[in-house]
């Protein structure tokens, strides 16, 4: 249940481990033996390496999700898979594992298939770097259209110039989406019946509750407690073991 601590440490400045790839391989071997606890420990060690590529981070967090799943920690597995998709958002196998874990944990699908979910998935299907390159490419095309319009004029070039502008606007949506949450620390609730407290004390009554697997914004931390804000705007303190930080987007870009 303390797996989230390792991920939290991975977000902080950490001592570089030159053998993180060895930890990864040993974790794979332990997992294959069925020693899920050891595999989890080794992968968390590997996750602390600061030079991790985003794809490697995605692979490690996905494996951590499998380890949590095999140890019957469904909500924690959901959190690991969600963190993995933030680094590799179009990984079909991770998506499949996430949806299965959510279904088995009696949660709504991450992609409900309705219009809102579909649009959100399209926007989130790009890493920040990919989103930046998309904007750059669209801007280049827009520039070509504008130069054509300046040299030749005419309706066709004007249409091309406006099309380039709209292309840039559409291509900028994923980047804007990422920038929107770049400065936020996103956590996920990994326990059921988690209640909000007005202060970081266990003897106070609850001021609200949060749903399991809900993504919340981390506002403050003290030992054993995290202050969060829910999507509905409710704020309060929750026990640290009931939430797990997801990989901040700023570390990927």
* Contact footprint for another protein (CB under 8 A): 21, 24, 28, 31, 53-56, 58-59, 62-63, 65-66, 69, 77, 93-94, 96-97, 100-101, 127-130, 132-133, 135-136, 139, 142-143, 146-147, 149-154, 161, 168, 175, 179, 253
Pick between residue 179 and residue 209 the one whose CB is nearest to another protein: 179
Q: Cβ closer to another protein: 27 or 200?
A: 27
Q: Considering the complex, what minimum distance in angstroms separates the CB of residue 109 from another protein? A: 13
Q: Which is nearer to another protein, 104 or 222 (CB)?
A: 104
Contact present, 198 and 225 (Cβ < 8 Å): no
Tokens in use for 101? Answer: 């874990």
Q: Give min distance, CB of 133 to another protein, in A.
A: 6
Nearer to another protein, 102 or 240 (CB): 102
Which residue number, 93 or 224, has a Cβ lying nearer to another protein? 93
**Least distance (Å) from another protein to the CB of residue 68?**
10
Least distance from another protein to the Cβ atom of residue 1, Å:
19
Distance CA 177, CA 83 (A): 17
Least distance to another protein, CB of residue 93, Å = 4
CB of 229 to another protein, least distance (A): 25
Based on CB atoms, which residue is closest to another protein, 101 or 210?
A: 101
CA 237 to chain centre: 22
User: Directed axis angle between helix 20-33 and helix 36-47, to 10°?
Assistant: 160
Q: Which of 70, 100, 94, 90 is nearest to 80 (CA)?
A: 94
Write down the least CB distance from residue 205 to another protein, Å: 38
Which of 9/172 has CB closer to another protein? 172
């Amino acid at each position: 249940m303390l797996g989230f601590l390792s991920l939290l440490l991975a977000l902080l400045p950490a001592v570089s481990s030159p053998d993180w790839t060895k930890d990864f391989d040993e974790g794979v071997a332990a997992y294959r033996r069925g020693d899920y606890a050891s595999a989890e420990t080794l992968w968390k060690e590997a996750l602390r390496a600061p030079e991790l590529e985003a794809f490697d981070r995605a692979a490690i967090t996905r494996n951590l999700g499998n380890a949590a799943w095999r140890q019957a920690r469904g909500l924690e597995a959901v959190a690991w898979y969600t963190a993995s998709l933030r680094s590799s958002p179009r990984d079909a196998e991770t998506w499949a594992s996430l949806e299965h874990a959510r279904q088995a944990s009696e949660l709504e699908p991450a992609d409900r298939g309705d219009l809102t979910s579909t649009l959100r998935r399209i926007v989130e299907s790009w890493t920040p770097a990919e989103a930046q390159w998309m904007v750059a490419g669209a801007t280049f095309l827009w520039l070509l259209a504008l130069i054509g319009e300046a040299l030749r004029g005419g309706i066709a070039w004007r249409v091309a110039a406006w099309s380039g502008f709209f292309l840039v606007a559409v291509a900028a949506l994923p980047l804007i989406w990422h920038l929107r949450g770049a400065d936020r620390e996103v956590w996920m609730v990994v326990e059921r019946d988690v209640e909000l407290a007005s202060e970081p004390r266990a003897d106070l009554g609850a001021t609200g509750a949060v749903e399991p697997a809900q993504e919340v914004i981390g506002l403050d931390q003290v030992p054993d407690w995290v202050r969060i804000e829910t999507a509905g705007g409710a704020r309060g303190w929750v026990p640290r073991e009931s939430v797990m930080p997801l990989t901040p987007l700023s570390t990927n870009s």
